[in-house]
Amino acid sequence: MSLPLEGRSAIVTGAGRGLGRAEALELARLGAAVVVNDFGQPGRDGSGDASTGPAEEVADEIRLAGGRAVAHTGDVADHRQAQGLVELAVDTFGQLDILVNNAGILRDRMVFSMSEEEWDSVIRVHLKGHFNTTHFASAHWRARSKAAGGPVYGRIVNTSSEAFLAGSAGQPNYAAAKGGIVGLTTSTALALAKYGVTANVICPRARTRMTSDVFAGFAEPDGDGLDPLAPEHVAPLVGYLASPAAGRINGQLLVVHGGMVAVVERPRVAAKFDTKQDAFTYDELEALLTPHYADRPAGETFAAAEVLGLKRGQA
């Protein structure tokens, strides 16, 4: 019996640790050859010297298990290094079939205290990093489709966050980047569908180096039980979205953690008001909108947190 990703090749960014590592191992387990990308900086804020260690170690782990893997230690936020990553996959495995974007850093600060550099660095790694790899992968698939005269196989799985859905007061840069990734994904899904490529985005909740303080109050299970916040709960969804079975899933946002997957709808209109005049006046808007929001707690934003059963700041 063949594996669902047998004969396919994949890139996973930020795959040296945490979620990316679990996703790379899962894709390999399902039969894919994997390019393991990780810049290798030790600090979750992107600090420290780059290292080949994390990417090489995961690639070795895949090879020891009988799979195929190669390490790439470039910075996906650098346009040319992202190009080299896609070229490495094509040169090594003949073509690229799957792109999983996961690389990211944190520079947490309240919006009134955040520096320009703290804003720029997070946007650069998360949002520009997702764009860079997507740009070169999509060009590869478009060229292949034109050469083949029809659709080809391509899968993109991007990584957003519940910080985008529910808000995260101390992460304006991160929340903005993750919201941007959702927009990038839906645009990409529309642009590439005719070439046979799907693009979806996940909001994973997992205990990793990036979320160590967020989940500090959530105890890990005793004994041999799997941590409900383990990255291994997220990886199977990535493997599924990368597979032929998910060919009809495109432009979708899914939240995943601890044995739960939630499909998130696109925003819908909750209420609609029409002016009784040629144009709204201040007084008319006050009469319509103030009562509409009167029963809501002060400071409440979107209802996504309540829908998903989240607590503020838990994303």
CA gap 172, 126 in Å, rounded:
13
Per the annotation, the verdict on 187 as an active-site residue is no
CA gap 78, 94 in Å, rounded:
24
Name the CA dihedral angle for 31, 76, 155, 63, rounded to a multiple of 10 degrees: 0
Residue type, 167: G
Determine which one of 121, 128, 168, 178 is catalytic.
Answer: 178
- CA 25, distance to chain mean position in Å, is 17
Per the annotation, the verdict on 178 as an active-site residue is yes
3-state helix vs strand vs coil in the chain, percent to 5:
40, 15, 45
Per the annotation, the verdict on 174 as an active-site residue is yes
CA gap 202, 4 in Å, rounded:
20
Contact status, residue 249 vs residue 156, Cβ threshold 8 Å = no
Residue entry with tokens 């944190």: 106
CA gap 40, 23 in Å, rounded:
17
CA–CA distance from 167 to each of 56, 109, 126, 178, 263 (Å)?
A: 35, 14, 17, 11, 18
Determine which one of 161, 168, 195, 243 is catalytic.
Answer: 161
Catalytic site positions: 161, 174, 178
